[in-house]
Structure 1
């Protein structure tokens, strides 16, 4: 019998997506398309200091660039957000251009919120954290100001931050993730440049690709699924699993393009359905353990697949069919993928101790979404310990 539950699809505000392009060549035309003349560039330190890409972009855009910063940092510290927002304001930028991964794009979204709300100190910004809808399925902005500035994103990783208006920079003082839904925070345009992607260290590509895969799996196995989002997620999962292993070979150019396409499929659906434990527990393990989101996602994705075994059989069956391995348990496929890439599969691999993980139980219970929207319930400290126990062993 088909479900009669109402289903919502959320468009996240993108105007243009350019796939398989040279971002350096395309960006001036994209800026002209939207009438922008003063770009403030936020980039990763590695892309600025270890490659010539930003120098080449600057040479191409010339006076269209009014400022550049690579002071981003892991998890986008709020202190860096506030400094960069003031720099962009003082430079009279009319658009922010992000060149980097999730930390860079998250920082740009938070910068947009600072500029739109005229909030340039920690206390003013933290007052704008999102709230959760009454049924717990949707994140709602508390910002009332219209967007004063937008972002054009040029992603260098595969974790899909370019597809959401959500920003979760870390609060320097508490080491907790702040939580914002930024009005018009999704980039106005995305430029997918596979040649630029090839300049990202392969280990980082694999890790962020796993984070994107985790998003897709959470969409496909959501507690409130949407048929369109699930269809896209199933396709994304198949593309990630097929093409991520090839990224160690820079001559496998099609795999770089296909992995960027997988992030597109994933991103088009992930804001429409609630995600479960593995998506949100990363926000606890990351800052508390000083661990990259993507590394934590590897371990939690695998633990969640084990936790849900037998609870989401139709969803896992569709994913297995998309992958073409219907006779293998889904968690086993994920384990083999992670092991083949040399990625962590256990909390031990992340260097965490039992005491450290135990200290994360209380903030996880206090987080508004870690214990909500899980098909197999995770409500109590005992539930959290049970699912995390699955992450201690491969």
Structure 2
């Protein structure tokens, strides 16, 4: 007889196959948000028109923009982004980019809610010996438009790097997960091939870990097995034809499924 529990996280919606700009506006309408702070990929911001299209769609509801998050989400950049979001009086953070930007916004949410103003303050909200400290829940939440497929946009965990120790540290809060994730395959065509495909292998890893976990259950297995099948089919198709949006969409949905077991409480590793 099966025994266990399935935990449903605080993500409210996943929108897939719709252009990002219109989907962001629709989510802001749904949430009643009026001041969106954009945390976006520097490459997308400076080398494509994707961010400009989003800014134009938001109009006066775009309260600010941060496009300088380095890889691995260093504390220093988190604090700069936090100050900018606070000064913009943001009521929503919108991320467009990879995992470092998604994680950065999760950290900014917690910094805003807990009055963190410098890099040392992050020690007050980070996980110590596997235990997250008591903290104020974020009220300025995030919606995410991912451009890679490692799956962090479906997780309530963020990794932030302490450059003094060269260690990536964990931040965790149930409301750190985005309120909504928007899967737009068209915006991922700008992602370097090596990055898109390697993050896809990370999603494959999530599926395999879930299937092999001793605490797996049918609900989690159904998502992990289907996710693995979709990723195994889609990733070679993206490699063969980078312009194949159907393949990219399948890879994104496979990634969403790959995170189902982890979100449902199945231990990894």
TM-score (norm 2): 0.95
Whole-angstrom distance in 2 between the partners of 1:12 and 1:227: 18
SS at match of 1:144: coil
Aligned to 1:274: 267
Question: Hey, which bits of structure 1, 4+ residues long, moved more than 4 A?
Answer: none
Question: Aligned pair 1:212/2:203, yes or no?
Answer: yes
- Superimposed CA distance per residue, residues 363-387 of structure 1 (whole angstroms, 9 cap, x where no aligned partner): xxxxxxxxxxxxxxxxxxxxxxxxx
Question: Aligned pair 1:55/2:52, yes or no?
Answer: yes
Question: Aligned pair 1:223/2:220, yes or no?
Answer: no
Whole-angstrom distance in 2 between the partners of 1:203 and 1:144: 38
Name whichever structure is richer in strand by fraction. Answer: 2
SS at match of 2:144: strand
Aligned to 2:139: 148
Aligned to 2:78: 81
Aligned to 2:224: 233
CA contact (8 A) 1:8 1:226 kept: no
After TM superposition, give the deviation of residue 252 of structure 1 in Å. 2.2
Aligned to 2:109: 112
Whole-angstrom distance in 2 between the partners of 1:221 and 1:142: 30
TM-score (norm 1): 0.65
CA contact (8 A) 2:113 2:139 kept: yes
After TM superposition, give the deviation of residue 223 of structure 1 in Å. 3.3
Determine which of 244, 251, 265 is the counterpart of 2:257. 265
After TM superposition, give the deviation of residue 53 of structure 1 in Å. 0.4
CA contact (8 A) 2:156 2:174 kept: yes
CA contact (8 A) 1:110 1:182 kept: no
- Superimposed CA distance per residue, residues 133-172 of structure 1 (whole angstroms, 9 cap, x where no aligned partner): xxxxxx6532331222100000111000001110011111
Compared with structure 1, are the counterparts of its residues 71 and 184 closer, same or farther at alpha carbon in structure 2 (3 Å cutoff)? Answer: same
Determine which of 176, 179, 201 is the counterpart of 2:167. 176
Whole-angstrom distance in 2 between the partners of 1:40 and 1:143: 26
- Superimposed CA distance per residue, residues 58-115 of structure 1 (whole angstroms, 9 cap, x where no aligned partner): 1111111111111111100011001101110111000000001111100000001100
Whole-angstrom distance in 1 between the partners of 2:87 and 2:52: 22
Whole-angstrom distance in 1 between the partners of 2:220 and 2:133: 26
Q: Structure 1 unaligned segments of length 5 or more: list them.
A: 133-138, 277-394
Determine which of 227, 233, 248 is the counterpart of 1:256. 248
Q: CA RMSD in A?
A: 1.5
CA contact (8 A) 2:159 2:169 kept: yes
Q: Which has the higher contact order (CA 8 A, sep 6+)?
A: 2
Question: Aligned pair 1:42/2:39, yes or no?
Answer: yes
Whole-angstrom distance in 2 between the partners of 1:51 and 1:258: 24
Question: Aligned pair 1:98/2:89, yes or no?
Answer: no
SS at match of 1:178: strand
Whole-angstrom distance in 2 between the partners of 1:236 and 1:18: 17
Aligned to 1:20: 17
Count of residues paired in the alignment: 267
Whole-angstrom distance in 2 between the partners of 1:131 and 1:82: 20
SS at match of 1:179: strand
Whole-angstrom distance in 2 between the partners of 1:17 and 1:99: 15
